[in-house]
Structure 1
Amino acid sequence: MRKTTQLRQLLQQKEILVAPGAHDVLTAKIIEKVGFEAVYFTGYGQAASHLGTPDIGLLTMTEMVARVRNFVCALDIPVIADGDTGFGNAVNVMRTVREYEAAGAAAIQLEDQVAPKKCGHMTGRQVVSIEEMAGKIKAAVAARQDPDLVIIARTDARTALGIEEAVSRGKAYEAAGADVLFIESPENAAEMRQITASFRIPVLANMVEGGRTPLMNVRELQEIGYQLVIFPTASTYITAQAIFSAMTELKTAGTTEHLLDRMIPFAQFNDFVGLPAVRKLEAEFLP
């Protein structure tokens, strides 16, 4: 089964789909290993891990596509991929969709921010007109070769223009052909309920630790009416904190010996990243 079709089936289930964010392929493999059915390719995390910068639109489309392809090649679960603003106007969006689809993404997320974009929980975001973004969604739908490729339309209008404007934009993007709606950064449970009650297609919740939206349990989000939830920043923050701690201790103690009980053992890690399979290939094909 194609990953696009698999994702669509997951979105039709009664159970909310939880897609943790991954800033690199190793993290994505761990997400798959512990049993999640989809992974979110987070632009916030890609900017941090690839460039060491905040999420302010510095990554190019080709850089993002290359990283999406690496995710897809390493995983057996669908990859929901952040496509930022589509990297230009509606014509640029068409190429972006085709490149993401060719890389194997099961879904592409497109947002209505003015480029260069910013993280959806930062202030200072601006949005393009409803008409321009609706045209981008129509272009994305026209560009996909696989009709099951999921088009996620995101609006960042809530923070600057209010919840009513955000919902109005969501309705326009639904009419333009989006498969999933992403109303970014609602600020309370009442707004979240208003969002989920406003659309006929699945709606995505975004749980950013320290962000503008209250953190909720996935069961609470399901009760509110969300069909999909992403946790885009958790792995990035956990990884950064763990490495800060480890490197600080190494700097102080001059050794990692006392950190061994906090590490995955050498042999176990090699097994996890696929060394036994490589050894079998070597035995079969190398002289």
Structure 2
Amino acid sequence: MTMKTTRTLLRTLIQHRRAAIVPGAFNALSARVIEDLGFEAIYVTGAGISNMWLGLPDLGFIGLTDVAQHTARIRDAVSLPLIVDADTGFGNAINVYQTVRTLERAGADCIQIEDQVNPKRCGHFAGKDVITLNEAVDKIKAAVDARHDADLLIMARTDAAAVHGFDAAVERAQRFAEAGADILFVEALTQLDQLQALPRHVQAPLLMNMVIGGKTPIASTENLADWGYSLVLYANAALQGAVAGMQKALQTLQQQKQLDESSGLVVSFAERQRLVNKSFWDSLEHQYTGSQLSS
């Protein structure tokens, strides 16, 4: 599937406003699992990259090169639309321009830029701050201007609710839409009535982030669809599930001194090879070398 097609699919998806669930991927294999299970889009999570590749919290430790490399690897592994977390754009409006150019080439279908000060921190951590509204709007304008393909989407995120309150966050979202953002992301709302009210104040498509254990109350996808959200993000559900699975499998190994497929704690060897598409590479080896592999 071409990037033009995936971008068109994503634009159509957000226009339907049916609260499509978008899981986050922290590497190519997690993206493969998401696609294999039938989800419609993937979020390339900055927090996931920081946690799973560096073993560090989401405190602005990753840069553009990290995100671009992960995006390119995931793009090569799956054919679903990719929404890419570009944090603050890694600097000012000029840096945002270069960030969008780089991630567009890497295969992003939507690029998310937020209004935190740089370096940023997880939207559900204490101690956040945001740049001025005018500077934030200029960064969204730069992102919109930077894209070569008009079908590439720009997502504008604001963290202003935690700093200046709900009304200020709504104002920023409105201004970001006026600046050309295709989809809006108001992070870390803390009350269900705010989640319900937001779509009444903003006409552009909206994403709501459901952080397991975070500051935002978990709302049902059915309610979020009724309220008018386009996408529901579970950015690190796969990451948290993977860590829980690793802990359980390794604790069992530690206690019982052995572990096999019958435990139900690990996928089978065959399933692991299916997910990484080993049969395709076997067929290529046969095509080019004539070898016939039995397994």
Q: TM-score range by the shorter chain?
A: over 0.9
Asked if structure 2 preserves the Cα contact closer than 8 Å seen for 1:246 and 1:259, the reply is no
2:44 alignment counterpart = 41
1:120 alignment counterpart = 123
Asked if structure 2 preserves the Cα contact closer than 8 Å seen for 1:151 and 1:179, the reply is yes
- Partner residue of 2:270 out of 263, 267, 271: 267
Taking the aligned partners of 1:181 and 1:134, their CA distance within structure 2 comes to: 13
1:133 alignment counterpart = 136
Which of the pair has the greater relative contact order for Cα pairs under 8 Å at 6+ separation?
2
- Post-superposition shift, 1:259? 6.0
Taking the aligned partners of 1:195 and 1:123, their CA distance within structure 2 comes to: 22
For structure 1, list consecutive stretches of 5 or more residues without a partner in the other structure. Answer: none
Rate the CA distance shift 1:14–1:151 in 2: closer, same or farther, 3 A.
closer
Taking the aligned partners of 1:10 and 1:139, their CA distance within structure 2 comes to: 25
The two structures have a TM-score, normalised by structure 1, of 0.97
- Post-superposition shift, 1:194? 2.2
Q: Does 1:158 align with 2:158?
A: no
4+ long deviations beyond 6 Å: none
Asked if structure 2 preserves the Cα contact closer than 8 Å seen for 1:25 and 1:71, the reply is yes
Match of 1:262, SS state, is: coil
The two structures have a TM-score, normalised by structure 2, of 0.94
- Partner residue of 2:213 out of 210, 213, 224: 210
2:200 alignment counterpart = 197
1:8 alignment counterpart = 11
- Post-superposition shift, 1:253? 2.3
Rate the CA distance shift 1:239–1:165 in 2: closer, same or farther, 3 A.
same
1:57 alignment counterpart = 60
Once the two structures are superposed, residues 206-252 of structure 1 have per-residue CA deviations (whole angstroms, 9 ceiling, x without a partner) of 00011111101211111111111110121111111111111122222
Taking the aligned partners of 2:277 and 2:260, their CA distance within structure 1 comes to: 26
- Partner residue of 1:81 out of 78, 81, 84: 84
Once the two structures are superposed, residues 13-62 of structure 1 have per-residue CA deviations (whole angstroms, 9 ceiling, x without a partner) of 25322111112211111111111010111111111111000000000110
Aligned residue identity for 1:186? L
Aligned-residue CA RMSD in angstroms?
Answer: 1.3
Taking the aligned partners of 1:200 and 1:58, their CA distance within structure 2 comes to: 34
Asked if structure 2 preserves the Cα contact closer than 8 Å seen for 1:196 and 1:226, the reply is yes
Taking the aligned partners of 1:258 and 1:203, their CA distance within structure 2 comes to: 42
For structure 2, list consecutive stretches of 5 or more residues without a partner in the other structure. Answer: 291-295
